[in-house]
Amino acid sequence: MEDMKPVPMNKKYFTPVVIGLAVLAVNGIIFLLARFAFGIGAVTNLDNQHPWGIWIGLDVAAGVALAAGGFTTAALGHIMHKDKYHAVIRPALLPAALGYTFVAVSVMIDLGRPYYIWHPLIMWNGSSVLFEVGICVMIYLTVLYIEFLPIVTERFIGRVKLPGILQRFNNPLDKFLRILDKGLEKTMFIFIIAGVVLSCLHQSSLGTLMVIAGPKMHPLWQTPILPLLFLMSAISVGFPMVIFESIITSRSFGLKPETPILSSLGSMVAPLLGVYLAFKIGDMVIRGTFVHLTTITAPSIMFTIELLFGVIIPLRMFMSRQVSKSPAGLLIASFLVIFGVFLNRLNNFLVAYTPPYEQQAYFPSFGEISVTVGFIALEILLFRLAVMIFPIVSVPGVSAQKTKYSVRGGIR
Amino acid sequence: MTNQSRREFLKTTALIGTAVTGLSSKTNGAQTNQLSEDRMGVLVDTTICIGCRKCEWACKTSHEMETAPLDSYDDRSVFNVKRRPDSKSLTVVNEYLNNETSSLPIDVKVQCMHCDNPACVSACIVGAFSKKENGAVIWDGDKCIGCRYCMIACPFQVPAFEFEVALKPDIKKCDFCFERTKIGKIPACTEICPVEAVTFGRREDLVKAAHHKIKNYPNRYINRVFGEHEVGGTSWIYLASKEFEELAFPKLGKDPAPGVSEAIQHGIFAYFVPPIALYALLGGVMWINKNKKIEQGEEN
């Protein structure tokens, strides 16, 4: 096998696509400012019937699910110790860290009183599912940052060059980075396992979140096994997300996609999706909710799209050898799984939610969509920036430099 | 095992057992309501209510909310649309046609039901809601972070949010006139009602009174007290001349609203055993795999 080594990407930052994304990001930020100046009601279509909109249903719920690549690859690479996947761990960790950061930001902007976001840390309510999700996400975000730290130390050890008057801090900072690096190396396994446990906990609890809505939720989705379904769908979407991101990144930076690694990642998707599908259909049969599929309503259509295009078709695709051998096939199949989980969260949090006294249906406002799209754009921009600064994307045999960075010479 | 050590063993086990149960009652018990036998309630007799809406005015006045003068409440055209309590009015009266028994309309007062097992109390991320000993479910503005999960949880769609407020929006809902009952007054709506359609009293007595009324006037009422059993019982209970679902009451079961959700939650976190077990399991797997790798490496 070729020797792979993560290196910072060396390319021009601004491309036409990047500029387009920047415009979208700015547009989102403008509406965000309006939300803080004039209140949630001024920017969103939320009301007392629909307390949660796409900022929670998509930015938070789907955001958490689609950041599952972080913990699934960590489990595969570090806990199962499959070394060949090490090349995808960093490219999966970065979007997870970014994704969760934006989940936290999305929660903040959706809160009526964002400045009280620290309240759950000292005001506990053990029976609140949201409390558990909140605490888990807070800790997991910290864990993700800790997992990312070695990348930072690797980038800067022996290379700290502060300008001008700050120069005198160069040596102490370098020393600090080395101590940090050594400490992290010895303790990282604690954080990696913690990250997987925390992920399992809040990925599933995110499903429990809507159970309390009881009859307000459409029976096609309302089931006591929602936490299990959420966990299984999050695990299924982890690898497709990594495959998707990896192929897009490779194209964007003009690299060859790491097809062999991605194919073997893809080969694990079918069983995971299959189990998820079995539980989803089994649940439907046991609770007899398939009767709701015989009438054509918005929920029944959305449920069918979710299951057919988001689970069944990609499952069939991932079972085909032809698909898993070609980057294009992998890209499309992965996209469908991502689409399926995205739609599932949207359905659970918004489509299925039918308030008893509904005067008009909820549809996100232009401002809400702008903020959501703006955040996604911002995430992609930051991802691009990060892979150009930090050694994240692995490139085959770029440098023969085998020495570990920590023995790099200090600054003279 | 000697007698001595067995006794020691039993003693330790018993001690651990008590500790665990003590711990569990603490972790699970923190949020369970200390439901008082003497908790208060209100019996709403929708066959008596005349739709004068004085309760709406009294509610706003006693909560220092903006209100039109009392005379303007005579305007019955507001009944043309069905209204819901919101951040500007904590209670509203809706009117329904009564085509079967009489030509008189049916008026239904709507406000927080003050559940015995409130979903909002269970759901609130910071425990800003609490069920008080006198039956009131109230909201603590110092804790609330404005996440609106209470609104998702409430089976009656009652808590309202000040969407138009940018800096410090509140959750608004009927507080059972907690500030008034604290000093011995009765809730403002029950005080002003000119026909005693809303009666304040011990919930237990009110349930009995309601059944008494049904027994004495079987033609006047359907044989059901809404709120006696719905979602595990509510402090506010209703009598009506026709099915409650026809009067826009939600169709609800008898299980407490937070029931399944709390069971799942406490199942996943039973004494933190499942998370810790998962951690240990993953740690074990990691260790085994690592050793395997090292062995293979040595062979090479």
Best-predicted range by mean pLDDT (A308-317, B247-256, B262-271): A308-317
B27 pLDDT exceeds 50?
no
B294 or A117: which leads in pLDDT = A117
Could you tell me which of B129, B127, B119, B112 has the C-alpha nearest to residue B152? B119
> Nearest 5°: phi and psi at A310?
-95, -20
> Nearest 5°: phi and psi at B101?
-90, -35
Could you tell me which of A243, A163, A146, A57 has the C-alpha nearest to residue B148? A57
Check A111 against B285: CB less than 8 A apart: no
Question: Cβ of B94: how many Cβ atoms within 10 Å?
Answer: 19
* The token pair that represents B228 in the structure block: 């006696």
B14 pLDDT exceeds 90?
no
ipTM: 0.90
Chain B, nearest residue to A33 by Cα? B166
Question: Cβ of B245: how many Cβ atoms within 10 Å?
Answer: 11
Contacts of B102 by beta carbon, 8 Å cutoff, 6+ apart: none
Chain A contacts of B122, Cβ < 8 Å? Answer: 127-128, 212
A16, part of any domain: no
Q: What is the pLDDT of residues A243-284, one digit of tens each?
A: 999 999 998 888 888 888 899 999 999 999 999 999 999 999
Task: Please tell me the pTM assigned to this model.
Answer: 0.89
Instruction: Give SS3 for A164.
Output: helix
Distances (CA, A) of B171 to A360, B145, B160, B162, B263: 21, 10, 6, 7, 27
Check B278 against A197: CB less than 8 A apart: yes
Check B125 against A128: CB less than 8 A apart: yes
Check B163 against A75: CB less than 8 A apart: no
CB A289 within 8 A of CB A220: yes
Could you tell me which of B64, B78, B113, B98 has the C-alpha nearest to residue B238? B113
Supply angle C-alpha A128, A134, A140, rounded to 5.
Answer: 135
> Using CA of residue B142, residue B143, residue B149, residue B153, what is the dihedral sign?
negative
The backbone region for B15, taken as left when phi is positive above 0, alpha when psi lies in -120 to 50, beta otherwise, is alpha
| Bridge partner residues of B171 (DSSP) | B161
Q: State how far the Cα of B166 lies from the Cα of B128, in Å rounded to an integer.
A: 20
DSSP code per residue over A13-42: S--HHHHHHHHHHHHHHHHHHHHHHH-HHH
A368, part of any domain: no
A281, part of any domain: yes
The minimal CB distance from A208 to the residues B250, B265, B289 is found for B265
Q: State how far the Cα of A236 lies from the Cα of A233, in Å rounded to an integer.
A: 5
Check A212 against B251: CB less than 8 A apart: no
Chain A contacts of B282, Cβ < 8 Å? Answer: 75, 79, 193, 196-197
Number of domains in chain A: 1
A378, part of any domain: no
Q: Supply the range of the domain harboring residue A182.
A: 46-363
- The pLDDT, as a whole number, for residue B30 is 40
Q: What is the pLDDT of residues B103-125, one digit of tens each?
A: 789 999 999 999 999 999 999 99
Could you tell me which of A195, A139, A151 has the C-alpha nearest to residue A177? A151
Check A79 against B286: CB less than 8 A apart: yes
Distances (CA, A) of A322 to A25, A120, A317, A325, A330: 38, 50, 9, 5, 9
SS3 content of chain B, % helix, strand, coil (to 5): 40, 15, 45
A317: Cα within 13 Å, side-chain hemisphere: 23
B296 pLDDT exceeds 90?
no
For an interface test with A, the pick among B31, B115, B120, B145 (most A C-beta atoms closer than 10 Å) comes out as: B145
Which residues of chain A have a pLDDT value below 70?
Answer: 1-3, 397-412
Q: State how far the Cα of A208 lies from the Cα of A220, in Å rounded to an integer.
A: 15
Instruction: Give SS3 for B238.
Output: strand
| pLDDT (mean) for B227-243 | 93
Chain B, nearest residue to A116 by Cα? B145
- The pLDDT, as a whole number, for residue B12 is 47
The minimal CB distance from A48 to the residues B84, B261, B292 is found for B84
Chain B, nearest residue to A81 by Cα? B289
pLDDT band, residue B34 (cuts 50/70/90):
low
> Nearest 5°: phi and psi at B198?
-115, 120
pLDDT band, residue B297 (cuts 50/70/90):
low
A392, part of any domain: no
Chain B contacts of A197, Cβ < 8 Å? Answer: 275, 278-279, 282
- For position A80, which CATH number holds? 1.20.1630.10
B4 pLDDT exceeds 90?
no
Could you tell me which of B148, B123, B137 has the C-alpha nearest to residue B234? B137
Check B149 against A132: CB less than 8 A apart: no
DSSP code per residue over A285-296: HHHTGGGGGGS-
Chain B, nearest residue to A354 by Cα? B152
Q: State how far the Cα of A35 lies from the Cα of A41, in Å rounded to an integer.
A: 8
- Rounded to a whole number, what is the distance in Å from the CA of A250 to chain B's nearest CA? 30
Could you tell me which of A211, A149, A227 has the C-alpha nearest to residue A181? A149
The minimal CB distance from B31 to the residues A123, A125, A129 is found for A125
CB A70 within 8 A of CB A234: no
A349, part of any domain: yes
Q: State how far the Cα of A67 lies from the Cα of B255, in Å rounded to an integer.
A: 36
Q: State how far the Cα of B199 lies from the Cα of B41, in Å rounded to an integer.
A: 8
The minimal CB distance from A212 to the residues B30, B253, B258 is found for B258
Check B27 against A134: CB less than 8 A apart: no
